[in-house]
Amino acid sequence: MPPIKALTRKSKRQVGTKSLVGILTGSPNDLPTVVKVRETLLELGIPCEIVVASPHRTPDKVLAYLKRAHTEGVQVLIGAAGVAAHLAGVVASHTRLPVIGLPLSGGSLSGQDSLLATVQMPPGVPVATVAIDGARNAALLAARILALQYPKIDAALKRAAQKDRARYDAASTQALAKLSGA
């Protein structure tokens, strides 16, 4: 079997050089949303990689990646899939690493089927699940898990939260000023 190709991009602020987060998606069509996960992780200095592997179309590729992820030190996995796909559940059934499910919109049910397939896991196969298309929250949850072990990630999360609060406060002030006619 040929080696799995993963999209990776390193940042000078990263904790290390190996990927700490593996982001799996079942379809290349999902990459525009999945790239948002990577962007958030890289903003926080967290090395990550994206792998396109379907539990239905390329199940051997999924299992080969999980084996490689374990040996190469990946610590958190994110499974992104739409249309009732069970990528995060399949991943969680083959690993002890924390798995975050990212249900994606699309299909006739606009992601509701994906959300239910991701969140309704049987006992013993836990998958933390974020909102439909909740790419940023998936990345932030992975970062919070890693922050328990990496003080630099914890500090980066604190800075990001402060920046988000400042942006919210500025937007609120502008909105109230427009409302009052100032």
Which of 64, 85, 56, 60 shows the shortest CA–CA distance to 22?
64
Task: Render pLDDT for 26-64 as a digit per residue (tens, 0 to 9).
Answer: 999 999 999 999 999 999 999 999 999 999 999 999 999
- Name the residue among 137, 8, 136, 155 with its Cα closest to residue 72: 8
| Domains of the chain, first to last | 7-154 (3.40.50.1970)
Q: Which pLDDT score is estimated for 5?
A: 41
User: What per-residue confidence (pLDDT) applies to 2?
Assistant: 35
Tell me which amino acid residue 91 is: V
- Residue 91 CA from chain centroid, whole number: 13
Task: Kindly report the backbone phi and psi dihedral angles of residue 103, in degrees, each rounded to the nearest multiple of 5, phi listed first.
Answer: -70, 140
The string of pLDDT tens digits covering residues 100-148 is 999 999 888 999 999 999 999 999 999 999 999 999 999 999 999 999 9
